[in-house]
């Protein structure tokens, strides 16, 4: 009998072929998309990224892999009064909103989602505490937050403002580039 896979086609019998479905990938999640290129420049490069790349440096968080943790574990990990929050607070850049307000920030993962935003998005999405914060979950939460921000804006300017409120790094992206990001998200 012939191999069941033949150049992207599933062969059920010698005479009948069924085309294999290729999953569609969201435009904003394509590695070469404007969205991903921009986020890589201003937010994070990987799914395990912590603030300041603390997961790769000689810090108490070296080796932490948030992409293997559950949402429940991350809720605890990202508490402002916890070790991560307290370690980040004195190291925040002076131009960040958290620093200006005397707060801390606990960004995690490729999209640098902070603890309070993560908890709120997961609740709205119906994600359980045992959901792993893996690539798919992070991408899904990103799309949820990005589409919510874009959809709340009636004008292009409002959409930009909303995205910049969710991702502070977008403040360093020009309007033309951010408009392309918005187009990919919609």
Residue with tokens 């948030």: 66
> Block means of pLDDT (10 residues each) for the chain, length 186 residues?
39 45 75 94 93 96 98 97 95 88 92 95 97 97 97 97 94 96 95
Q: Are 103 and 80 in contact (CB under 8 A)?
A: yes
97/165 Cα distance (integer angstroms): 10
Question: Quick one: pLDDT at residue 67?
Answer: 98
Q: Are 82 and 63 in contact (CB under 8 A)?
A: no
3-state secondary structure of 5: strand
Buried b (16+ CB within 10 A) or exposed e, 76-85: ebbbbeeebb
83/87 Cα distance (integer angstroms): 6
| Ramachandran bin of 41, using left for φ above 0, alpha for ψ from -120 to 50, beta for the remaining angles | alpha
Q: Are 80 and 46 in contact (CB under 8 A)?
A: no
The radius of gyration computed from the CA coordinates of the chain, to the nearest angstrom, equals 20
Distance, C-alpha 56 to centroid of its chain: 19
Question: Quick one: pLDDT at residue 12?
Answer: 42
């Amino acid at each position: 009998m012939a191999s069941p896979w033949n150049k992207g086609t599933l062969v059920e019998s010698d005479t009948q072929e069924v085309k294999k479905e290729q999953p569609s990938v969201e435009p904003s999640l394509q590695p070469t998309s404007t969205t991903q290129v921009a986020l890589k420049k201003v937010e994070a490069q990987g799914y395990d990224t912590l603030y300041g790349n603390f997961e790769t440096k000689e810090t108490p968080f070296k080796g932490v892999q948030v992409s293997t943790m559950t949402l429940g574990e991350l809720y605890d990990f990202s508490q402002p009064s916890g070790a991560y929050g307290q370690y980040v607070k004195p190291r925040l850049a002076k131009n960040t909103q958290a620093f200006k307000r005397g707060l801390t920030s606990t960004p995690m993962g490729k999209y640098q989602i902070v603890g309070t935003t993560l908890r709120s998005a997961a609740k709205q999405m119906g994600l359980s505490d045992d959901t792993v914060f893996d690539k798919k979950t992070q991408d899904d939460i990103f799309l949820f937050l990005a589409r919510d921000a874009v959809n709340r804006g009636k004008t292009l300017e409002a959409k930009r403002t909303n995205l910049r409120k969710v991702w502070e790094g977008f403040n360093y992206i020009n309007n033309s580039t951010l408009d392309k990001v918005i187009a990919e998200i919609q």
